[in-house]
Amino acid sequence: SQTIHQWPATLVQPVGSPLSLECTVEGTSNPNLYWYRQAAGRGLQLLFYSVGIGQISSEVPQNLSASRPQDRQFILSSKKLLLSDSGFYLCAWSRGGASGRGTDTQYFGPGTRLTVL
């Protein structure tokens, strides 16, 4: 079965510090990978998604970046955090490939709660 891991679970960082959040998926190959941010009491905002190694699509211009150095690893980074970067960051995966995209469910990791002070 497939599992998705995120770490750290919680993080408190000062403004201007760098950020690195990691997400890994087990039990599948060539997944589509996604980073979302959820502000307190709000819905999900898609930040980045990737359909393969080195292929990153950005949805929202911001000071965040994403990388996919390995097939099942997705990293969210920032060089200098802003107060507005605080939130709950969720990584998700779905089955990759060209067929059946309309039916492919996204499965989420446990999330990272980031507080920028």
Partner 1 sequence: AQKITQTQPGMFVQEKEAVTLDCTYDTSDPSYGLFWYKQPSSGEMIFLIYQGSYDQQNATEGRYSLNFQKARKSANLVISASQLGDSAMYFCAMREGRDDKIIFGKGTRLHILP
Please report where in the chains the tokens 């969210």 appear, as a residue.
76
Quote the distance between the C-alpha of residue 42 and its chain's center.
17
Judged by beta carbon, residue 12 or residue 15, the one nearer partner 1 is 12
Question: Is the distance from CB of 73 to CB of 20 less than 8 angstroms?
Answer: no
Q: Answer yes or no whether residue 71 interacts with partner 1 by CB under 8 A.
A: no
d(C-alpha 48, C-alpha 76), whole Å: 9
Which tokens in the block code for residue 64? 């965040």
Q: Is 86 in the site for partner 1 (CB under 8 A)?
A: no
Residues 64/85, Cβ–Cβ less than 8 Å: yes
Q: What is the x/- site pattern for partner 1, positions 92-111, by CB under 8 A?
A: x-x---x--xxxxxxxx-xx
User: In the complex with partner 1, which residue's Cβ is closer, 22 or 104?
Assistant: 104
User: Any contact of residue 40 with partner 1 (CB under 8 A)?
Assistant: no
Residues of this chain that bind partner 1 (CB under 8 A): 32, 34, 42-44, 46, 49, 51, 57, 59, 88, 90, 92, 94, 98, 101-108, 110-111, 113
